[in-house]
C-alpha cells in the first residue's frame, strides 16, 4: 500500500540512495554539441508548470526533520514522524563524512485521496495543474492569480527597478536566503521560482511577455476591460508556451522519430481535431519522479556570464540558489538569456554537477544536499517499479544480468544492488545510451513522449483543438499566426535590449548549427504573431 520497495533478492531493504549516488553519479563535463543550456532551463520551467509533489509537514505547517539536529544520526523510528524516510549516509562517504553527516533529511510526499473514495495503494498528490497552461506564470488557483494581477490594463504586477521590470518582490521573509537591502527575492505563479537564478530569468521573460501582449491588446482594443485583456493575453501566452513546447522543445529533446511515433507534432494547418476524452491527462508518477528528472544531469554547474567582448563572471550555481539578487544588476538579465541560448547543455548521462550532489541549497554552509539521493529516494517513496519493468513496458528486453549494463556501469551497479531487478528507474534510465535522434535513452524518451501525448490529446483547451470541443478555441487565422511563436521571438521582444540585438531561430539549438544562424531581432526572419488578428470591431 505505502511501504517502500524491497530487494527482489531476499526481501531485504534496498541499499541507501547516497551509496548508489556516490558509486554512479560523479561530476564531469561533457557538453552536447548541438543543444543549448536553454533546453535545461526551459525544461525545469515547464516541469514546474505540470508537476509538484508536496512534502508532508506537521499539522501546523512546520517542516519535519528526520535527523538529529547536527545531522549525524537518524532519529529513531519511535520518536520521528510517520512520513520520515531519512537517507543513510555511510561513515566513509567521500564528501559528507568530512562534516560528520550520517543522515540526509527526507520527508515522504503527501498522498492524494482516491477519486472514488475507496481504500487502496497510495498515489501522490500534484500541487500544480498538470496541463501546460501557464500555471507557473499565473498560479494554479484563482487566489494565486488574483494575487499576481495588477488589475490595470490586464497586466501582471511588476517590480520596477530603475526602469527595468522584474518580477514582484516576495512578501515571504523565508522565500530566499536573505532579504537584505539591495538583494531581491521574487514572486511568480510557482513556489520554486527562486531555486536558481536562470529559472528566475525565465519567469521574468514570461511575465514580461504577458504584459507586452496586454499592452498591445489594450492599444488595439481601447474599449476592452482589464479582465478581458488579462484573459486574452493569458490565452495567447498559454498558446505560445504550447507552441514552444511542442514545436521547439520536444523535438530537440525527443528527436523527430519520437514526435512521429507518438503523434505529438503540431499540425501546420487547420485545427488538430485530436482531442480524445478517453485520454487520461494527469501526470504519471514515472514521469514526475524519474523520467523528467533527466534534466538534473543536464545542469551546468558554472554559469559563464559574458560582457561585451570578454567573460565578466563565472558563477558557481549554488551561489545563486535562493539568492537571485544579481537580477537587479543592470546587464545581468540580458547576459543570462544570452548564456542560456549560446552555451551548450550537459549531456544526459551519469555525470551530475557537484552543485547538485554536494552543494545544493547550501546557503552559505560548507555542504548542501544530494539531489541524486533525493531522486532515488523519491522514486521509492512514490512506489515506482524497478527500471527493468519499464524497459519491458517500452518494448526492450529485460536485463537479466548486471553485465547487460555494459562494462562501464555493470560492475558499479553490482556493487550497490543485490539484484538486477532492483535498479531504480531514475538510475537505469540515465545510464542508457541515446536513442534514435533523442538526447535520452529509450525508456525516458518513451515515458516523456507518452506524457506529452496525454497533455495534448487529453486537454480540451489545448490551443489547436477545434470549436466543437474547445470552448476557448482560436480562429483559423489566429491559429496560423500563433503557430509562428518561438522562444527566440519572445526573448527578442522582452530583453532589456542591452545585449540581445540578435537571436538564432531556434533557442534550443546552438547558434551556428546548420540552419540556426543569428538573425537581427528587428528584422522579419524571426516571425512575430500578428496581434491585429485580435482586433475587436464590436
Give which of Ca ion, ligand HEM, none residue 133 binds (C-beta under 5 to 8 Å, depending on kind): Ca ion
Stretch that binds ligand HEM, among 77-85, 223-231, 262-270, 285-293 (CB under 6 A): 285-293
How many residues bind ligand HEM (CB under 6 A)? The answer is 21
- Out of 15, 21, 22, 47, name the contact with ligand HEM by CB under 6 A: 47
Tell me the Cα Rg of the chain. Answer: 23
DSSP assignments along 316-364, one per residue: EGGGGTT--GGGGSTTHHHHHHHHHHHSEEEPSSS---HHHHTSBT-TT
> What's the grid cell of residue 366?
560548507
Catalytic residue status for 203: no
Residue in this structure with the C-alpha cell 513496458, named with its chain if needed: 393
Residue 510 beta carbon to ligand HEM: minimum distance, rounded to whole angstroms: 17
The answer to whether 227 touches 177, Cβ cutoff 8 Å, is no
Q: How far apart are the first and last CA of the chain?
A: 58
Residue 487 beta carbon to ligand HEM: minimum distance, rounded to whole angstroms: 15
Residue 303 beta carbon to ligand HEM: minimum distance, rounded to whole angstroms: 10
Q: Does 428 bind ligand HEM (CB under 6 A)?
A: no
Stretch that binds ligand HEM, among 212-220, 294-302, 434-442, 522-530 (CB under 6 A): 294-302
DSSP assignments along 356-411, one per residue: HHTSBT-TTSS--B-HHHHHHHHHHHTTPPPHHHHHHHTTPPPP-SGGGGHHHHHH
Buried b (16+ CB within 10 A) or exposed e, 347-381: bbbbbbbbbbbbbbebeeeeebbbbbbbbbbbbbb
Measured distance CA(305)–CA(312) in Å, rounded: 6
Stretch that binds ligand HEM, among 37-45, 148-156, 410-418, 459-467 (CB under 6 A): 37-45
**Shorter beta-carbon distance to ligand HEM: residue 47 or 204:** 47
Give the 3-state secondary structure of residue 202: helix
- Out of 40, 372, 413, 430, name the contact with ligand HEM by CB under 6 A: 40
Options 48, 130, 382, 435, the catalytic residue:
48
Measured distance CA(97)–CA(27) in Å, rounded: 18
Q: Does 295 bind ligand HEM (CB under 6 A)?
A: yes
The closest of 117, 111, 137 to 46, measured between CA atoms, is 137
Residue nearest to ligand HEM (CB): 295
- Out of 21, 135, 140, 195, name the contact with ligand HEM by CB under 6 A: 195
**Shorter beta-carbon distance to ligand HEM: residue 259 or 299:** 299
**Shorter beta-carbon distance to ligand HEM: residue 52 or 341:** 52
Measured distance CA(431)–CA(420) in Å, rounded: 14
Measured distance CA(275)–CA(297) in Å, rounded: 34
- Out of 89, 103, 299, 413, name the contact with ligand HEM by CB under 6 A: 299
Q: Does 129 bind Ca ion (CB under 5 A)?
A: yes
Residue 400: is it exposed, middle or buried by C-beta count within 10 angstroms (0-12/13-18/19+)?
exposed
Q: Pattern 323-362, binding to ligand HEM, x per CB under 6 A?
A: -------------------------------------x--
**Shorter beta-carbon distance to ligand HEM: residue 84 or 531:** 84
Q: Does 292 bind ligand HEM (CB under 6 A)?
A: yes
Q: Pattern 27-66, binding to Ca ion, x per CB under 5 A?
A: ----------------------x-----------------
Give which of Ca ion, ligand HEM, none residue 49 binds (C-beta under 5 to 8 Å, depending on kind): Ca ion
- Out of 43, 52, 133, 374, name the contact with Ca ion by CB under 5 A: 133
Residue 60 beta carbon to ligand HEM: minimum distance, rounded to whole angstroms: 21
Length of the chain: 538
| Count of CA atoms in the C-beta half-sphere (13 A) of 48 | 23
What are 74's strand-pairing partners? 67
Active site residues: 48
Q: Could you list the residues that contact Ca ion (CB under 5 A)?
A: 49, 129, 133, 135
Q: Could you list the residues that contact ligand HEM (CB under 6 A)?
A: 40, 43-44, 47, 51-53, 195-196, 288, 292-293, 295-296, 298-299, 317, 360, 371, 374, 378
Amino acid at each position: 500500500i505505502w511501504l517502500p520497495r524491497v530487494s527482489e533478492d531476499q526481501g531485504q531493504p534496498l541499499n541507501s540512495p547516497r551509496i548508489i549516488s556516490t558509486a554512479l553519479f560523479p561530476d564531469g563535463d561533457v557538453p552536447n554539441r548541438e543543444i543549448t543550456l536553454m533546453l535545461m532551463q526551459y525544461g525545469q520551467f515547464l516541469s514546474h508548470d505540470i508537476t509538484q509533489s508536496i512534502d508532508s509537514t506537521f499539522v501546523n505547517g512546520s517542516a519535519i526533520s528526520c535527523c538529529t539536529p547536527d545531522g549525524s544520526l537518524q532519529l529513531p523510528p519511535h520518536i520521528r514522524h510517520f512520513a520520515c524516510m531519512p537517507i543513510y549516509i555511510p561513515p566513509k562517504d567521500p564528501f559528507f563524512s568530512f562534516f560528520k553527516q550520517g543522515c540526509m533529511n527526507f520527508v515522504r510526499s503527501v498522498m492524494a485521496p482516491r477519486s472514488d473514495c475507496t481504500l487502496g495503494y497510495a498515489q501522490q498528490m500534484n500541487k500544480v495543474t498538470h496541463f501546460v497552461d501557464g500555471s507557473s506564470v499565473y498560479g494554479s488557483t484563482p487566489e494565486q492569480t488574483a494575487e499576481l494581477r495588477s488589475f490595470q490594463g490586464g497586466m501582471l504586477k511588476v517590480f520596477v527597478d530603475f526602469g527595468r521590470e522584474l518580477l514582484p518582490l516576495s512578501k515571504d521573509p523565508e522565500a530566499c536566503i536573505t532579504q537584505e537591502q539591495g538583494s531581491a527575492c521574487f514572486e511568480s505563479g510557482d513556489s520554486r521560482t527562486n531555486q536558481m537564478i536562470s529559472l528566475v530569468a525565465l519567469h521574468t521573460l514570461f511575465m514580461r511577455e504577458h504584459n507586452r501582449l496586454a499592452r498591445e491588446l489594450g492599444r488595439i482594443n481601447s474599449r476592452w476591460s482589464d479582465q478581458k485583456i488579462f484573459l486574452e493575453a493569458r490565452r495567447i501566452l498559454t498558446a505560445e508556451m504550447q507552441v514552444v513546447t511542442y514545436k521547439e522543445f520536444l523535438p530537440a529533446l525527443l528527436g523527430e522519430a519520437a514526435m512521429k511515433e507518438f503523434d505529438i507534432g503540431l499540425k501546420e494547418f487547420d485545427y488538430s481535431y485530436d482531442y480524445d476524452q478517453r485520454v487520461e491527462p494527469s501526470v504519471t508518477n514515472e514521469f514526475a519522479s524519474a523520467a523528467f528528472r533527466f534534466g538534473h544531469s543536464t545542469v551546468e554547474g558554472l554559469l559563464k556570464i559574458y560582457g561585451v567582448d570578454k567573460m565578466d563572471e563565472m558563477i558557481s550555481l549554488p551561489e545563486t540558489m535562493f539568492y537571485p539578487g544579481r537580477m537587479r544588476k543592470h546587464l545581468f538579465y540580458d547576459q543570462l538569456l544570452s548564456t542560456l541560448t549560446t552555451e551548450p547543455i550537459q549531456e544526459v548521462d551519469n555525470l551530475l554537477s557537484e552543485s547538485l550532489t554536494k552543494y545544493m541549497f547550501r546557503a552559505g554552509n560548507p555542504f548542501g544536499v544530494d539531489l541524486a539521493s533525493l531522486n532515488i529516494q523519491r522514486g521509492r517513496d512514490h512506489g515506482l517499479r524497478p527500471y527493468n519493468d519499464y524497459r519491458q513496458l517500452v518494448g526492450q528486453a529485460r536485463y537479466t544480468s548486471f553485465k547487460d549494463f555494459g562494462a562501464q556501469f555493470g560492475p558499479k551497479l553490482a556493487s550497490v544492488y543485490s539484484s538486477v531487478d532492483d535498479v531504480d528507474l531514475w538510475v537505469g534510465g540515465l545510464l542508457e545510451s541515446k536513442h534514435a535522434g533523442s538526447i535520452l535513452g529509450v525508456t525516458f524518451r518513451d515515458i516523456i513522449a507518452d506524457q506529452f501525448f496525454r497533455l495534448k490529446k487529453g486537454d480540451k483547451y489545448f490551443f489547436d483543438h477545434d470549436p466543437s470541443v474547445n470552448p476557448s478555441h482560436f480562429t483559423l487565422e489566429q491559429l496560423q499566426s500563433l503557430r509562428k511563436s518561438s522562444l527566440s521571438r519572445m526573448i527578442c521582444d522582452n530583453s532589456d535590449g542591452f545585449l540581445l540585438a540578435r537571436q538564432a531561430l531556434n533557442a534550443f539549438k546552438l547558434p551556428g548549427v546548420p540552419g540556426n544562424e543569428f538573425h537581427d531581432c528587428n528584422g522579419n526572419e524571426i516571425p512575430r504573431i500578428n496581434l491585429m488578428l485580435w482586433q475587436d470591431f464590436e
